[in-house]
């Protein structure tokens, strides 16, 4: 998404709860718990409300990312 800012907006939600700043994901127990220990350093939402449409889910899968929907 770094190469397509417009696409990043499609994947962004204003409906989230809590944040975690992860500086060294591969060394962080919190990153392991959140299953983002292979991601880049950054600020991540703890919980996001909303759903991706099927096209976005397929795009994520194509990029090797698994979308994990966790029911309430």
For residue range 21-47, list pLDDT tens digits in order.
Answer: 999 999 999 999 988 999 999 999 998
Tell me the average pLDDT across 4-9.
Answer: 80
d(CA 14, CA 49): 9
Tell me the average pLDDT across 55-67.
Answer: 83
Percentage of the chain beyond pLDDT 70 is 93
d(CA 31, CA 28): 5
> What average pLDDT does the structure give for the chain?
85
pLDDT score for 26: 95
For residues 20 and 46, the answer to whether their CB atoms sit within 8 Å is yes
Query: Is residue 69 in some structural domain?
Result: no
Residue 27 tokens, joined:
């060394």
CA atoms within 13 A on the CB side of 69: 8
18 Rama class: left (phi>0) / alpha (psi -120 to 50) / beta: left
Number of domains present in the structure of the chain:
1
| CATH code of the domain containing 35 | 3.30.40.210
């Amino acid at each position: 998404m770094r190469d397509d800012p417009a696409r990043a907006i499609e994947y962004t939600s204003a409906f989230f709860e809590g944040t975690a700043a992860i500086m060294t994901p591969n060394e962080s127990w919190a990153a392991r718990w959140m299953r983002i220990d292979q991601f880049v350093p950054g600020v991540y939402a703890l919980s996001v409300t909303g759903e991706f449409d099927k096209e976005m889910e397929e795009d994520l899968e194509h990029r090797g990312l698994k979308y994990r929907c966790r029911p309430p």
